[in-house]
Amino acid sequence: MNRVAIVLDENGELDRVVSDEPIRCFVVDEKAPDDRVYELSTALSVGVHEVRQCLGSEPIGHAMDDTFLGEGCGPRKSPPKPSLKPVS
């Protein structure tokens, strides 16, 4: 599976996008109707090592964990398992 990390700077602005494999990355800005879709090129870094270095050993949160923004790295719940039901 290809991993993509979107890195934001201290101000919450896009710093760079890091990916295991080459990707095409687009920014869609609804505030700019005449220039709504923009393809990133200079902010892309590619390589498994790049992603590993970017992620480091930080715990990875997700939408269903029990840690609130700004409270640090508390215990993490496992992401929910997909529930697939057979269709007949």
Please state the domain count of the chain.
1
> What residue numbers bound the domain in which 47 lies?
4-55
15 lies in a domain? yes
pLDDT tens digits, 9-62: 898 888 889 999 888 888 888 888 888 898 887 777 888 988 888 888 887 777
* 44, part of any domain: yes
| Number of other residues whose CB lies within 10 A of the CB of residue 19 | 20
13, part of any domain: yes
Beta strands in 1-88 (DSSP E): 4-8, 14-19, 25-28, 37-40, 44-46
Q: 84 is written with which tokens?
A: 């697939």
Q: What is the DSSP letter of 12?
A: S
How far does CA 4 lie from the centroid of its chain? Answer: 6
pLDDT higher than threshold 60 for residue 69: no
pTM of the model: 0.60
Task: Find tokens 């896009």 and name the residue.
Answer: 14
Output the CA–CA distances (angstroms, integers) from residue 75 to 27, 36, 58, 59, in the order listed: 33, 39, 12, 9
10 lies in some domain = yes
